[in-house]
Amino acid sequence: MARRVQILAVWLVVCVLPFGLQVRASHGVKEEREKRQQREEEARDRIVELPGQPKVSFQQFSGYVTVSRVAGRALFYWLTEAVHEPLSRPLVVWLNGGPGCSSVAYGASEEIGPFRINKTASGLYLNKFSWNTVANLLFLETPAGVGFSYSNRSSDLLDTGDRRTAKDSLEFLIRWLDRFPRYKGREVFLTGESYAGHYVPQLAREILIYNKRSKNPINLRGIMVGNAVTDNYYDNVGTVTYWWSHAMISDRTYKQLINTCDFRRQKETDQCESMYSYAMDKEFGNIDQYNIYAPPCHINSDGSATATRHSMHLPHRPYSMMFRKLSGYDPCTEKYAEIYYNRPDVQKALHANITRIPYKWTACSEVLNRNWNDTEVSVLPIYKEMIAARLRVWVFSGDVDSVVPVTATRFSLARLNLPTKIPWYPWYVKKQVGGWTEVYEGLTFATVRGAGHEVPLFKPRAALQLFRSFIEGNHLPKS
């Protein structure tokens, strides 16, 4: 018996243990190969310097992540790391809406990013109210067909909608975190504006579902959306009410709209459509609907205009409500972006357009916008899911936007019937009222005084204060 035990022990030493060592060695080689691949991909995506860029201390990365190998769909991103201590700061994903508009054109270039494009589109200058003073910012152009993001299957541009956008954005985030493993486990917040009022909660829902089955869950901590499309019916009623309460339309037109339109439909009756057309053509006047008190952008002498989000259609609105008048803030900041991001040297620095997309980069894709395939009637049920999951949920509104106005958001959020924790109060920035806020069980709502549809564009200091309070989990300051 003892002899057998000795033979077995020798066999274990000679045969089995080396096999175990080989397995561990093989596993170690695989891990090292994966790390080397990650380092190579990160190095390939590193932005050395953008044309005309001032010197900065933070790192930047940009490039593509494939989200469907079968269709050849790849989404473009731009990461601007935090100015201070990026390794200890959260990751904030920013999405613009449209649907069909670029987060590079708007979020990165005229709202929360570190750079602004100068009037000649020859270079960049610093935005001192950039949100990367607080967090690492990841700008994502989604869905495929927006900005530099592309699909090799042309039919994808004709049948995109909410569902595919959410699933592709989740796939992007999973694969992006594999490429940048130092962000795994980091706090993640989703932010955006306008039709991202759909994108952001829908992506949050996909993450919550993914986390239930994943061994490496995404550390999603909260969402924040501004002037957000939320609920078809209440958004539409709230919009018409805003027009009336801000003297943009007459009592007669307001009553006719309220009595004639269903507000739940995407395609309204001809009578309702004609009332919308009358309001816009005869009563609005030449105003910027994205900020009713800002001067409109000048139209070119030949009458031409670049199609941007200002001619975009929101899927919850009747088709007569396409915003036909060209409008802007600084003789059309979108035009600066469209010149700058179509420059070959800029695209090379960004590692963009590597497949030679057969169309110019534009701030918004009219093709996607006109062919949006599916849109949720309301995202309020998702809000309930996020609140139940104890995510931090903030909603804010620039109060001079007539496109997705503050009344629309308030009417929509009221349907949640949330108990009030902290009653309505003014919040301050630099000893001035920045807006008003109310804190509910599970959700914070805030207005930004004097801000239009793109809050950080019009009120950058107030927007930064709002963002800082959100990220830190603090209430907005009372003085």
Chunked in runs of 10, what are the mean pLDDT values of the chain (479 residues)? 60 58 66 70 91 96 96 96 96 95 96 95 96 98 96 91 97 97 96 97 98 95 97 95 97 95 82 91 91 72 40 59 38 79 96 90 91 93 98 98 97 97 98 97 98 95 98 97
Q: Which residues are the active-site residues?
A: 194, 401, 453
Give the model's pLDDT for residue 278. 94
Adjacent-strand bridge partners of 435: 427
Give the model's pLDDT for residue 160. 92
Angle at 169 between CA 439 and CA 221, to 5 degrees: 30
Look-up: residue for tokens 């899911």?
385
CA distance 467 to 107: 14
CA distance 166 to 186: 21
Strands (DSSP E) found in 57-132:
60-68, 73-80, 91-95, 115-117, 124-126
- On whether the CB atoms of residues 359 and 89 are closer than 8 A, the answer is no
CA distance 115 to 113: 6
> Using the 8-state DSSP alphabet, how is residue 101 labeled?
B
Question: Which amino acid belongs to residue 430?
Answer: K
Pairing of strands 188-193, 220-226: parallel
CA distance 383 to 229: 13
CATH number of the 232-329 domain = 3.40.50.1820
CA distance 366 to 363: 10
Cβ neighbours around 240 below 10 Å, total: 23
Question: Which amino acid belongs to residue 63?
Answer: G
Rg over alpha carbons for the chain, rounded to the nearest Å, is 25
CA distance 150 to 157: 9
- On whether the CB atoms of residues 238 and 197 are closer than 8 A, the answer is no
Adjacent-strand bridge partners of 433: 428
CA distance 180 to 43: 11
Give the model's pLDDT for residue 455. 96
Question: Which amino acid belongs to residue 201?
Answer: P
Give the model's pLDDT for residue 14. 56
Give Cα separations from 471 to 91, 132, 308, 420 (angstroms): 10, 12, 31, 21
CA distance 367 to 157: 7
Q: How far is CA 477 from the centre of its chain?
A: 26
Instruction: Calculate helix-pair angle for 196-213, 380-388, nearest 10 degrees.
Output: 40
* 4 class by beta-carbon count within 10 Å (0-12 exposed, 13-18 middle, 19+ buried): exposed
Q: How far is CA 401 from the centre of its chain?
A: 18
CA distance 400 to 379: 23
**Would you state the structure tokens that stand for residue 156, as one six-digit string?**
């994808």
> Using the 8-state DSSP alphabet, how is residue 268 labeled?
-
Give the model's pLDDT for residue 4. 62
Give the model's pLDDT for residue 326. 29
CATH superfamily of 60-230+376-472: Alpha/Beta hydrolase fold, catalytic domain (3.40.50.1820)
- Phi, psi values for residue 304, rounded to 5°: -80, 155
Which alpha helices (H) appear in 341-394, and where do they start and end? 344-350, 366-370, 380-388
Range(s) of the chain covered by CATH 3.40.50.1820: 60-230+376-472, 232-329
**Would you state the structure tokens that stand for residue 173, as one six-digit string?**
């985030």
Give the model's pLDDT for residue 309. 41
Look-up: residue for tokens 């915003």?
323
Helix (H, G, I), strand (E, B) or coil at 372: coil
Q: What is the pTM of this model?
A: 0.88
- On whether the CB atoms of residues 119 and 337 are closer than 8 A, the answer is no
Look-up: residue for tokens 């339109």?
261
